[in-house]
Amino acid sequence: MQLEGKTIIITGAGSGVGRASAILFAEEGGNVVCADVNDEWAKETVRLVEQNGGNSIAVHCDVTSEADVTAAIDATVAEYGRLDVMYNNAGVATPRPGLRFEDHTVEDFDRLMSINLKGVFLGTKYAVLQFKKQSTPGSIVNTASVAGIVGWGGTVYGATKGGVIQLTRAVAVEAAPFDIRVNAVCPAGMPTTNFMDIPTDTATQAVAFEKVAQQHPLGRNITPEDVAAAALFFASDTARNVTGVVLPVDGGYVAR
């Protein structure tokens, strides 16, 4: 029960890492606010959390909207009395598989930057303000990517995640005197999420999964549950002296 009594907002909670994290955080005793731009997905995550005996609510949140982000925090405080953890997880992938840098449109650039970086900026900013208003410690977890650490492909996507990493480190130092911790998880290849272009037929899919797995020295694919476990550590008091850390969840990829 590492999050017993704590209240957590997870953006992008309707699928993938967000959904896995919501389920895990609730199992660990947390009150989980499932924030997503897709209301039906968020409601389904709440159903899964409650099915496992957890406590959760869904809120609509477009992370590019300042009004939506502040409304999500206000709804959380109204429901549970406080905010303890902000998990800025929502993000989008490179819009077209194999897209070269020079083939990105300005619209591609703006969408990636707006969701992946501006969304983290807004979530972090208003979480810090809420923690200071409460005069309580707080934890912020951001989903970055190994693409923000090394050249991975999807250059503009990687640039957004590099921005998330720098924001994480800088705010961690600035917010430390207020006992606010800021850390980031950096997944590698996750073929079971919608972040990779994976065939739907079983035989071809198995080959694709194996190909992705072999990119990682440990030889395994990264799962949403792997990333959720790392985020849980950062969110919990077990990591009370850990801040400014950028943790690859990558099977050893960036150690090569």
Q: At 198, which amino acid appears?
A: I
- Cross-strand pairs, 180: 138
Q: Which of 87, 126, 157, 253 is catalytic?
A: 157
User: What crossing angle do the helices spanning 155-175 and 119-134 adopt, rounded to 10°?
Assistant: 10
Range list of β-strands (E), the chain: 7-11, 31-36, 55-60, 85-88, 138-143, 180-187, 246-249
Q: Note whether 34 and 60 are within 8 A (CB).
A: no
Q: Note whether 48 and 19 are within 8 A (CB).
A: yes
* Residue count (the chain): 256
- Report residue 116 as tokens: 């992946």
- For 69-124, the three-class secondary structure string (H helix, E strand, C coil) is HHHHHHHHHHHHCCCCEEEECCCCCCCCCCCCHHHCCHHHHHHHHHHHHHHHHHHH
Q: Is 87 annotated as catalytic?
A: no
**Around Cβ 33, how many Cβ atoms within 10 Å?**
31
Q: What is the CA radius of gyration of the chain?
A: 17
Residue (of 134, 119, 141, 122) closest to 30 by Cα position: 141
Question: How far is C-alpha 153 from the geometric centre of its chain's CA atoms?
Answer: 20
φ/ψ of 39, rounded to 5, equals: -60, -40
Q: What is the set of active-site residues?
A: 157
